[in-house]
Chains A and B, each alone.
With several copies, the nearest count.
Chain A
Amino acid sequence: MAEDDDPQAPAESLFEAPPMGEQERMVEAILFASADPVPVSDLAARMPHGSDPAEALAHLRKRYEGRGVQVVRVGDAWAIRTAPDLGFLMHKEVVEERKLSRAAIETLAIIAYHQPVTRAEIEEIRGVSVSRGTVDLLIEQGWIRFGRRKMTPGRPVTFVVTPEFLDQFGLESARDLPGLKELRAAGLLDNRPPPGGPGDEDDDGEDGDQSELFEE
């Protein structure tokens, strides 16, 4: 450079500055390892005499253009940062699998068999109140959603199962869910006839209810 030949050049230039490629490496290493953004003056102080950190920075900045990280200016200082479009990589999702609680699976079963069904109806069938958390969990999981309001006093909301639910449980439609008779045949229920005999009103009524519900 012309400056080097200048008889007025400062005494420091007695020591030859490293080649620009080396200077660029130095800036790269310093920016990488520093805990804070580094001002140009700091770079100059740390690099060998006669170095030109500003020029090295310009080269380095260019080199990182379009890369996964970039050389960016932070106030008066410089730092290396993740390219903005790759921010999503700095996000790690940990998936944890848990078994559905008994309350949740029962609630889900009732909704599947009786949809559209109100909270009051679920509680009546289960015999216990349904916690808000249980319903929220099932909604969050994507297995149930709100159906249309019932045309009864108070116009309560109803719950129905979602396509995700069908997908999860390998069903074409909620109608494919086996009825009580089939459950019994599958050995899931005791084979003993209910106390009221075969014509038991309740049992029949249930099956009837169910099919009615599905036949909308």
Chain B
Amino acid sequence: MAGDEFQADVLSVSERMAAEALIVDVDGYEGPLDLLLTLSRTQKVDLRRVSVLQLAEQYLAFVEKARHLRIELAADYLVMAAWLAFLKSRLLLPPEPGDEGPSGEELAAHLAYQLERLQAMREVAATLMARDRLGRDFFARGIPEDVRRTRRVTYTATLMDLMQAYARIRTKDEFRPYVMDRDAVMTLEEALERMRGLIGFAGDWTDLTSYLPEGWQVDPGRRRSATAANFAASLELVKTGAVEIRQSDTFAPIQIRKRHDG
């Protein structure tokens, strides 16, 4: 506005210098909270006693000055300005009856808390960085001696494993170890065994249903069992990292492929 420009022109040289110094610094601030903290120091009081009202006025004056000097402030500075203007009105005006939300005092207290907390964090950060530091003030061993690591593998097996293994061998020709006869059921183990052998040939995405064995593709009961077993087996293989699995949409065909390392 013309009036504003005129006003800016009549500012004394020293005033302009001061204003510009402040503006030039804008880049140096890490956001509105940082700026507020800097402004609060001009009050020269303990942060716990800082006057938030006064601070809001300082901030708004700063933003106003920036506007005079046609400095474009980042959006978050303007958001903070709007909020502080709101806070100011809350602090100055008596609350309207039926007013919802936190009071001006509560908002002001939280802002003061935020400033105090930021200030405290800055102080401890400085204390931390001023501590004696490894590699600067104190040092670790210059010639560490490597610990030689050897890996020893021990195998575990129980007597039960041993007996079962023996029973398996001795009975495989004559009769089978105890299993229930369920013609129409394919077990996860069977499917896994089969798929482990087949997966090596699946270089590219292949429909899971194409893995169903001969004789399990037509009869609904057998087909259902084989599909479920194959699906569970493929998940098992995915878990071990042998294959990848995908389904483009709900009820879309499930596809798997051998996983290529790297």
Seen from chain A, the residues whose Cβ lies within 8 Å of a Cβ on chain B are: 29, 32-36, 79-84, 87, 90-100, 102-106, 108-110, 112-113, 125-128, 137, 141, 167-171, 177-180, 183, 186-192, 194-198, 200, 202-203, 206
Tell me the residues in window 36-51 of chain B with beta carbons closer than 8 Å to chain A beta carbons: none
Choose from A36, A95, A106, A195 the contact partner of B168 (Cβ within 8 Å). Answer: A106
- A29 vs B139: C-alpha distance in the bound complex, in angstroms? 8
Cβ-defined contact, B102 with A190, below 8 A: no
With a cutoff of 8 Å between Cβ atoms, the chain B residues found around residue A81 in the complex are 134, 138-140, 145
Cβ-based interface call for B127 (8 A): yes
Cβ-defined contact, A79 with B140, below 8 A: yes
Contact pattern, B 15-42, Cβ under 8 Å of A = 1, otherwise 0: 0000000000000001111100000000
14 A-B pairs with CB atoms under 8 Å apart are: A33-B147, A34-B141, A36-B143, A82-B138, A84-B137, A90-B139, A90-B148, A93-B139, A93-B149, A104-B155, A127-B114, A128-B30, A169-B158, A171-B131
With a cutoff of 8 Å between Cβ atoms, the chain A residues found around residue B166 in the complex are 106, 109-110, 112-113, 177, 183
With a cutoff of 8 Å between Cβ atoms, the chain B residues found around residue A206 in the complex are 170
Cβ-defined contact, A188 with B133, below 8 A: no
Number of residues on chain B facing chain A (CB within 8 A): 73
Cβ-defined contact, B142 with A34, below 8 A: yes
Cβ-defined contact, B113 with A99, below 8 A: no
Cβ-based interface call for B182 (8 A): no
- A76 vs B175: C-alpha distance in the bound complex, in angstroms? 59
With a cutoff of 8 Å between Cβ atoms, the chain B residues found around residue A202 in the complex are 174
Choose from A36, A106, A167 the contact partner of B125 (Cβ within 8 Å). Answer: A106
With a cutoff of 8 Å between Cβ atoms, the chain B residues found around residue A92 in the complex are 147-150
Q: Who on chain A is nearest to B79 by CB?
A: A198
- A33 vs B139: C-alpha distance in the bound complex, in angstroms? 6
Q: Give the most central of B33, B76, B143, B146: most A CB within 10 Å.
A: B143
Q: Give the most central of A141, A189, A196, A203: most B CB within 10 Å.
A: A189
Closest 8 CB pairs of A and B: A127-B33, A109-B125, A33-B139, A195-B102, A128-B31, A109-B166, A33-B145, A35-B144
The stretch among B116-124, B194-202, B235-243 that forms the contact with chain A is B116-124
With a cutoff of 8 Å between Cβ atoms, the chain A residues found around residue B136 in the complex are 87, 94, 97
Cβ-based interface call for B8 (8 A): no
Cβ-defined contact, B148 with A108, below 8 A: no
Cβ-based interface call for B152 (8 A): yes
Cβ-based interface call for B159 (8 A): yes
Choose from A109, A187, A195 the contact partner of B165 (Cβ within 8 Å). Answer: A109
With a cutoff of 8 Å between Cβ atoms, the chain B residues found around residue A200 in the complex are 174
- A106 vs B172: C-alpha distance in the bound complex, in angstroms? 13
Cβ-defined contact, B121 with A82, below 8 A: no
Cβ-defined contact, B154 with A98, below 8 A: yes
Q: Who on chain B is nearest to A89 by CB?
A: B147
Q: Who on chain B is nearest to A142 by CB?
A: B154
Contact status of A126 and B33, CB under 8 A, knowing A90-B139, A99-B157, A179-B124: yes
Q: Who on chain A is nearest to B159 by CB?
A: A169
Cβ-based interface call for B70 (8 A): no
Contact status of A177 and B158, CB under 8 A, knowing A106-B168, A127-B31, A127-B33: no
Q: How far is the CB of B204 from chain A (nearest CB, A)?
A: 32
Cβ-defined contact, A195 with B141, below 8 A: no
Q: How far is the CB of A40 from chain B (nearest CB, A)?
A: 16
Q: Who on chain A is nearest to B120 by CB?
A: A188
Cβ-defined contact, A102 with B177, below 8 A: no
Cβ-defined contact, B110 with A192, below 8 A: yes
- A170 vs B165: C-alpha distance in the bound complex, in angstroms? 17
- A187 vs B113: C-alpha distance in the bound complex, in angstroms? 9
Q: Who on chain A is nearest to B131 by CB?
A: A169
Cβ-defined contact, A97 with B168, below 8 A: no
With a cutoff of 8 Å between Cβ atoms, the chain A residues found around residue B167 in the complex are 180, 183, 188-189
Cβ-based interface call for B92 (8 A): no
